[in-house]
Chains A and B, each alone.
Chain A
């Protein structure tokens, strides 16, 4: 499989549940990103990893916990979410975190928090 893949594609969870989103890139990139895409709001950067080290944390609540075990995989662990966390969560990767790089996006995980 090529490009950036995300699983699951859809997720429904209660506010007390714990779940994880998975992202995998097959492009040999060194930077990976989590974005949140909500209706009627611009795309929001959540986290940036470069060579498995977190280099950006955009004031994200602690109920979102990222993990990057290697340069190909990125996880977003979710716990005690709120209904307003319902959104499309997009993963992306790029050769490096430098500003001129093209980012390659996965199809997203659509999350509904009840």
Chain B
């Protein structure tokens, strides 16, 4: 079965420090990959996505992610975080097989707390 794992449920980080959020998925088929962010009391919004082409994807607010097919990973990074980056981050995968339809499978989320 297809699955998405976010290895860290919580990541505390100091302001202006770098952060990496890890995402791994289990599948041997082609995938589309997404990172969404959820700020407090809001819905999710797209940070970035990988569909094809360059494996390094740049998104909004200075975030970037790298698709590694051999390691089935799509880790999210930001070189210098701000207080406003405090939020929950979700990795999501669309598995390109008939059984999965077109639905997104979400990871469990990583809560990032940026400290001053």
Contact = CB atoms under 8 A, between A and B. Distances in A.
Interface of A: 4, 40-43, 45, 48, 55-56, 58, 90, 92, 97-100, 102-108
A111 to B, nearest CB: 15
B43 A106 contact: yes
Interface of B: 4, 32, 34, 36, 41-46, 49, 51, 90, 92, 94-96, 101-109
Contacts of A92: 43-44
A4 B43 CA distance: 9
Given A92-B44, A99-B94, 17 more contacts: A4-B43, A42-B108, A43-B44, A43-B109, A45-B103, A48-B101, A56-B101, A56-B103, A90-B43, A90-B44, A97-B102, A98-B102, A99-B96, A102-B46, A104-B45, A105-B44, A107-B41
